[in-house]
Structure 1
Amino acid sequence: MKLVVVSAGLSVPSSTRLLADRLAKATAGQTSAEVQVIELRELAVEIAHNFTNGFPGRQLSAALDAVTEADGLIVVTPVFSASYSGLFKSFFDVLEKDALAGKPVLIAATGGTARHSLVLEHALRPLFAYLRAVVVPTGVYAASEDWGAEGLDGRIERAAGELAGLMGGVTAKVPRPAKAGEFEVVPFEEQLAALRRGA
């Protein structure tokens, strides 16, 4: 299997790339996928040229092929003006319109404040739904204060598990046991098998 990570971070080092790497590591730990990272800042000139001349350069063409052939995709963008960056959107604008149809995608974003966390729901999820990708239920947003704080690791693991499950063609499992007062869902087949064993 092949997992492709698209990072739209612009700075070096980049919190966007850091989040991308953590998501990739968590997903690869639950699959046998080979990971390839695409840094969009390295393709910015070729993306612009593609808009003006209609042809992708060598590096951009290789990146587009990698995304098209991937079994799963992790996409991470910094938040610009309460949405994804222009570079991020431009890359997916030059992708063939059916390239992501049915492909499992994990969406993620970074920003300076938690106030922009809804960018996942009002910008990224609709974009990938339009591209007919299968977007995992858990998106990951990391604000400046999230690094090193409780909660981020859990969101990363949950989202990675969901993506790994979709890539493997099975339903992702909840990575924690049920707490007191919560219900544990047991598939009917397992309940029936347990009853038969007890009979």
Structure 2
Amino acid sequence: MSDAETLPPHPLLSDVDLERLDDFLDSERVDPDALDLIGAHGFLVALAVAPREVDAATWIAELFHGEPSFADTAERDTILGLLEQLRHNAIATLEQGRLPELPFELVLEGLPPEETPIGDWCAGFMEGVFLDEGAWFEADEEAVATLLLPFMALSGLFDDEPDMAEFTAEAGRLESLAGQLPDLVLDLYLHYRVPPETPKPKPRRKPSAGRSHRR
């Protein structure tokens, strides 16, 4: 068994820190279109998985849809520090081959994904992908599209696409994918960082000796 199968999922922030972020992101000092805690968590995990680093100023502006009304410099440092810590902890967790703990139950209970935290998290994750989409699909586009398909399906952002409707039509598929989200995150992270196995070169056959002449 791998470490990811034997160790429990690893929390990316403490409950106290998550609550601190939740209070701020849910406050009136943040743009109404800014990501909430669940969306921001998915967004930052996507940035941890991303094949190249996105400039902090860029992702902060995207997450908040502008600049929040921080009370003072200390609060700004605290909130941005927690967001950066979540991203950094996600990188460290995935680098160790461990599964990240997501801050919600991984079950849909018969609800459409977009009506659950699972859908919100995957929508936030896809926002992180869109932030630097070219880098995600720069190499091996087909493999990346396949790996991202579960996140796209659970996000609810692509329901109008015919191919997505066909993919999600199978009974129980979305419920199964929801339960696998931490594993799917790790698979995607490893895709960008573990080089594909190259087939071992076959030994060259020795040239056959000429037939011996019978006497």
Q: TM-score range by the shorter chain?
A: 0.3 to 0.5
Tell me: higher relative CO, structure 1 or 2? Use CA pairs within 8 A at least 6 residues apart: 2
Higher helix share: 2
